[in-house]
Chain A
Amino acid sequence: MNAVEWTLVIAGAGLGTYALRVAPFMSLRLYRVGQNNLRFLTFVSLAIAAGIVARSIVFDGGSVGQPPELAIKVAAVLAALIIQHRTKNLLVALFGGVGLAVLWKWLTM
């Protein structure tokens, strides 16, 4: 593909995505639709967050990850949750959980 073709793809995908992002802020009708369905949107938001966690744990790139890797990821999340419960400090829990995963991965490589 040449430079002009890449420019078309980037401009098309960029503008299309931007339109999706900006439309609800600009249209009063869409704003009202959101207002009438705020509870639904809250559930969508929570399910998206949980879905991102599940997808990151189960998948490695585009395919289902290997069991040992899955175990490390589950352990990282559980460790982080335990540390947060004990310390009440989100950043300590975040780095503690991820740190454990890196250490485990590095030791088993």
Chain B
Amino acid sequence: MNASRKQGFRAGVSVIPSFIAIFIGFGVAARVADVPAPAAVLLTIAVFAAPAQFAIIELTGQGAAAIVQMIFAGVLINLRFFLMSLTLAHLFTGVPRLRMLASAQFVAASTFLLTFFQSRKKSEHVNLHEFFISMAVVVFPAAVVGTLIGVAFGTNLPPAFMFGASLFLPVYFALLLSSDVKGRYEIMAVLCGFVFTPPVETLLPGWGVFVSALVVAAAITVAEKR
């Protein structure tokens, strides 16, 4: 295994507990909403984005009449992936389009952010696409396994275990941010993202992170150009 793959694999392993915990949560919610187990697992495989999946199953109570609404809700919540892929397109230079067609499915907040942070380590020469794919190879099955556990026996898992597992992702991102952010404009982006996301999330459930990030980034880009 080369260095890029090894690092990607290691990065993926460190977020496995969070992925399993998040998707156990989805599996439990799917079971409560009477979503058939195969449909819950296939949703994870096809959509691979927990917030959108939660939005979809929340509408199951409305029955078949809500099919179009379910699809639109799922796709709209995932609009952020467009921006993430736009950034990744500049990090994955020289990768054949056919390979990109296959790897695009694995673009998610964690796989994107960990690749983004890796790209900023100028001292380490890492093939970012290999890093990304190696991470996805670990993280994607974790999402499927989490969904299966949630559907099968999610309600029987110890609460302290679930609580701890759900903390791996935010603690990991906090650690990466603390060691990675450079310059006052980047510090402002982090602080504003941190402060504004909870109120925006309260006003626009499911959209807080995306909307806050867009507004904060636009404001700071303008401020930096002045």
Contacts and interface: CB of A to CB of B under 8 A. Distances in A.
Interface of A: 1-3, 5-6, 8-14, 16-18, 20-26, 30-31, 33-35, 37-59, 61-62, 64, 69, 72-73, 76-77, 80-81, 84, 90-91, 93-94, 97-99, 101-102, 105-106, 109
Contacts of A13: 43, 46-47, 52, 56, 70-71, 74-75
B160 A51 contact: no
B212 A40 contact: no
A6 B42 CA distance: 10
Contacts of B179: 84, 90
Contact of A43 (B17, B46, B64, B186): B186
B138 interface: no
Contact of B164 (A1, A38, A77, A101): A101
Contacts of B25: 61
Interface in B169-210: 169-179, 181, 185-186, 189-198, 201-202, 205, 208-210
B197 A42 contact: no
A72 B164 CA distance: 10
Contact of B47 (A14, A93, A109): A14
A57 B209 CA distance: 13
Contacts of B157: none
Given A10-B39, A50-B193, A93 B175 contact: yes
A45 to B, nearest CB: 5
Q: Is the interface of B mostly helix, strand, loop or mixed?
A: helix
B112 to A, nearest CB: 8
A17 B81 contact: yes
Interface in B203-226: 205, 208-210, 212-214, 216-218, 220-221, 224
Contacts of A35: 90
A106 B105 contact: no
Given A16-B75, A105-B164, A51 B212 contact: yes
Given A22-B100, A93-B175, A109-B160, A51 B89 contact: no
Contacts of B163: 69, 72, 101-102, 105
A44 B170 CA distance: 17
B202 A56 contact: no
Contact of B89 (A25, A52, A72): A25
